[in-house]
Amino acid sequence: MYAQEVKSTGKGVLSLEEMDPVERAFQEKVNAGVKIEPKDWMPEGYRKTLIRQISQHAHSEIVGQLPEGNWITRAPTLERKAILIAKVQDEAGHGLYLYCAAETLGVSRDQMTEQLLSGKAKYSSIFNYPTLTWADIGAIGWLVDGAAIMNQVPLQRCSFGPYSRAMIRVCKEESFHQRQGYDIMMKLCAGTLDQKAMAQDALDRWWWPSLMMFGPSDAQSVHSAQSLAWKIKQDTNDELRQKFVDQTVPQAKYLGLSVPDPDLKWNEEKGGHDFGEVDWEEFFQVVSGNGPCNADRMAARRKAWSDGEWFRDALMAHAEKHSADKVAAE
Ligand code: BYC
């Protein structure tokens, strides 16, 4: 039975026998690892799930420019400033590839923007925390981009072609982002006592929000079972969170920093770390708009949209004039 072939809790997922023939053929294609392309038949739920996830992913890239953009004018050296500008520009590029991938599913960029600005569409919880010191830029690269890579590497194998191809390019750039963040942390940790304390403070503040990036626990995840069945996701939220902890703890040790979790310890039997419970109350508060920076982030995006109105109007006027000239010349 199909539901036994995937790592799903089975919540609401139909077995092959329960599907109608068209849907069954689609699922068999997915099971065989054939990519689904925009013009192929797909269940409406698959299309909607992808639009939701890809557009939220795109919004995260765009909103994610704000916390780091906050430090461009205050980067400690010209070199660090140039690197940070390049990184923030990369995030804009990621947003654009992802909006294009979502557009192939029949939603327009304007519709997606409207959903973000009206608060209907989510973006990653992590970008609702403030960047208080330069060490936060190191912590974001190291932890936030590190968590993003952990989540996005499997998305390169997503069943939907345009999303999977966008992820291949995004992942290459994210590796550079992660390394530049870790490089900042290494410099700070090899610096003065104050610099090392700044690095520890950043780790203390970004650790738990980074673990929240992987989404609610498997028991609370609404979409995981179906997304695993459709091979949109390859791993559950908890599986990726565990991998991230196991990868990151030795990196913190190398820096000489301590992870702010008294329950963290190596579990020989499972071959991974045990770690404390994420504060899910905080997660759901942030996701529902009540995090420390939600209002600021949304205000910045709304301002950018309204400031850009004259430019969008000018582009439209130019395009209309151009096509009228063309018609007149025919
Ligand atoms: N924050 O059923 P679940 C970057 C929502 S940007 C907010 O587990 P799913 C970077 C979820 O949407 C990289 N909301 O959902 C950029 C759902 O709500 P709706 C960002 C969250 O989709 C700039 C509900 O909770 N990466 O790297 O199966 C600078 C139930 O969750 C969060 C992506 O976007 C969250 N953390 O799994 C630096 C990755 N978690 O939609 C760096 C793509 C969950 O029903 N997305 N929710 O209203 C995914 O892989 C999946 O969507 C998730 C959630 C793992 C996030």
Would you give per-residue pLDDT tens digits along the chain (330 residues)?
333 333 444 567 999 999 999 999 999 999 999 999 999 999 999 999 999 999 999 999 999 999 999 999 999 999 999 999 999 999 999 999 999 999 999 999 999 999 999 999 999 999 999 999 999 999 999 999 999 999 999 999 999 999 999 999 999 899 999 999 999 999 999 999 999 999 999 999 999 999 999 999 999 999 999 999 999 999 999 999 999 999 999 999 999 999 999 999 999 999 999 999 999 999 999 999 999 999 999 999 999 999 999 999 999 999 999 998 888 888
Nearest of 133, 153, 164, 131 to residue 64 by alpha carbon:
131
Nearest of 206, 176, 202 to residue 189 by alpha carbon:
202
Nearest of 142, 144, 151 to residue 243 by alpha carbon:
151
Q: Which atom of ligand 1 is nearest to the CA of 63?
A: 23
Cα 66 to Cα 130, 145, 294, 319, distances in angstroms = 10, 15, 11, 31
Question: So what's the pLDDT on residue 329?
Answer: 86
Q: Phi then psi for 256, rounded to 5 degrees?
A: 80, 25
Cα 81 to Cα 70, 148, 172, 224, distances in angstroms = 12, 22, 21, 39
Ligand 1 lined by 248 (C-beta under 6 Å): no
Q: How far is the CA of 18 from the centre of ligand 1 (A)?
A: 29
Ligand 1 lined by 136 (C-beta under 6 Å): no
Ligand 1 lined by 235 (C-beta under 6 Å): no
Ligand 1 lined by 47 (C-beta under 6 Å): no
Question: So what's the pLDDT on residue 55?
Answer: 98
Ligand 1 lined by 138 (C-beta under 6 Å): no
Q: How far is the CA of 185 from the centre of ligand 1 (A)?
A: 26
Joined tokens for residue 174? 């994210």
Contact present, 248 and 256 (Cβ < 8 Å): no
- Please report how many Cα atoms fall inside a 13 Å half-sphere around the Cα of residue 86, on the Cβ side: 11
Question: So what's the pLDDT on residue 56?
Answer: 98
Closest CA to ligand 1's atom 50: 151
Ligand 1 lined by 115 (C-beta under 6 Å): no
3-class DSSP state for residue 194?
helix
What is the rounded (10 degree) CA torsion for 218, 175, 191, 80? -120
Q: Which residues sit opposite 274 in a β-bridge?
A: 265
Q: Which residues sit opposite 36 in a β-bridge?
A: 160
Give the span between the Cα atoms of 112 and 103, in whole angstroms.
9
Q: How far is the CA of 326 from the centre of ligand 1 (A)?
A: 45
Ligand 1 lined by 297 (C-beta under 6 Å): no
Contact present, 237 and 227 (Cβ < 8 Å): no
CB atoms within 10 A of CB 149: 17
CB atoms within 10 A of CB 204: 14
Nearest of 127, 167, 168 to residue 144 by alpha carbon:
127
3-class DSSP state for residue 127?
helix
Q: How far is the CA of 54 from the centre of ligand 1 (A)?
A: 9
Question: So what's the pLDDT on residue 325?
Answer: 87
Q: Which atom of ligand 1 is nearest to the CA of 57?
A: 34
Ligand 1 lined by 90 (C-beta under 6 Å): no
- Please report how many Cα atoms fall inside a 13 Å half-sphere around the Cα of residue 193, on the Cβ side: 0
Ligand 1 lined by 59 (C-beta under 6 Å): no
Give the span between the Cα atoms of 66 and 39, in whole angstroms.
35
Ligand 1 lined by 144 (C-beta under 6 Å): yes
